[in-house]
Amino acid sequence: LSITFSEDMNRNSVEKGLSFFGNGLSVEYYLEWENSRKLKIKPVRELQNGCQYTLTLEQSAKDVYVPSG
Protein backbone atom coordinates (compact mmCIF):
# COMPACT_ATOMS: atom_id res chain seq x y z
CA LEU A 1 0.00 0.00 0.00
CA SER A 2 1.22 3.51 -0.64
CA ILE A 3 0.11 7.09 -0.16
CA THR A 4 1.33 9.90 -2.38
CA PHE A 5 0.80 13.37 -0.92
CA SER A 6 0.56 16.57 -2.95
CA GLU A 7 2.90 18.37 -0.54
CA ASP A 8 6.05 17.51 1.41
CA MET A 9 4.80 16.08 4.68
CA ASN A 10 5.84 16.30 8.32
CA ARG A 11 6.68 12.62 8.77
CA ASN A 12 6.14 12.54 12.52
CA SER A 13 2.62 14.00 12.26
CA VAL A 14 1.70 11.53 9.50
CA GLU A 15 3.02 8.54 11.43
CA LYS A 16 1.16 9.56 14.60
CA GLY A 17 -2.07 10.16 12.67
CA LEU A 18 -2.13 6.85 10.79
CA SER A 19 -4.23 3.85 11.80
CA PHE A 20 -4.87 0.57 9.99
CA PHE A 21 -7.64 -1.90 10.86
CA GLY A 22 -8.92 -5.17 9.41
CA ASN A 23 -12.39 -6.36 10.45
CA GLY A 24 -12.17 -3.99 13.42
CA LEU A 25 -8.80 -5.27 14.65
CA SER A 26 -5.57 -3.31 14.52
CA VAL A 27 -3.22 -4.38 11.72
CA GLU A 28 0.50 -4.39 12.54
CA TYR A 29 2.55 -2.56 9.95
CA TYR A 30 5.75 -0.70 9.38
CA LEU A 31 6.34 2.42 7.31
CA GLU A 32 8.87 3.20 4.64
CA TRP A 33 9.21 6.74 3.32
CA GLU A 34 10.44 6.88 -0.28
CA ASN A 35 10.67 10.66 -0.03
CA SER A 36 8.79 13.42 1.81
CA ARG A 37 5.68 12.88 -0.37
CA LYS A 38 5.48 9.11 -0.79
CA LEU A 39 4.85 6.68 2.05
CA LYS A 40 4.66 2.89 1.83
CA ILE A 41 2.59 1.02 4.42
CA LYS A 42 3.80 -2.56 4.79
CA PRO A 43 1.69 -4.95 6.86
CA VAL A 44 3.71 -7.33 9.04
CA ARG A 45 1.43 -10.23 8.01
CA GLU A 46 -0.13 -10.93 4.64
CA LEU A 47 -3.53 -9.28 4.15
CA GLN A 48 -6.43 -11.73 3.98
CA ASN A 49 -8.92 -12.05 1.12
CA GLY A 50 -12.48 -11.20 2.11
CA CYS A 51 -11.40 -8.97 4.99
CA GLN A 52 -12.46 -5.32 5.03
CA TYR A 53 -9.51 -3.03 5.75
CA THR A 54 -9.61 0.61 6.78
CA LEU A 55 -6.60 2.91 6.60
CA THR A 56 -7.19 6.28 8.27
CA LEU A 57 -5.06 9.40 8.33
CA GLU A 58 -6.13 11.95 10.92
CA GLN A 59 -6.36 15.66 10.18
CA SER A 60 -3.45 16.14 12.58
CA ALA A 61 -1.14 15.03 9.72
CA LYS A 62 0.50 18.20 8.42
CA ASP A 63 2.68 19.21 5.54
CA VAL A 64 6.04 20.87 6.21
CA TYR A 65 4.83 24.34 5.19
CA VAL A 66 5.24 26.79 8.01
CA PRO A 67 3.49 30.12 7.43
CA SER A 68 5.64 33.21 7.81
CA GLY A 69 4.28 35.73 10.09
Give the pLDDT of the chain (69 residues) as one tens digit per residue: 999 999 999 999 999 999 999 999 999 999 999 999 999 999 999 999 999 999 999 999 999 985 655
Q: What confidence score (pLDDT) does residue 38 get?
A: 98
Residue 54 and residue 24: Cα distance in Å, rounded? Answer: 8
Q: What angle do CA 18, 19, 21 make, to 5 degrees?
A: 155
Please tell me the predicted confidence (pLDDT) of residue 4. 97
- Global pTM? 0.85
At residue 27's C-alpha, the angle toward residues 18 and 34, to 5°, is 50
Please report, for residues 29, 36, 55, the alpha-carbon distance to residue 61 in angstroms, rounded to integers and kept in the order given: 18, 13, 14
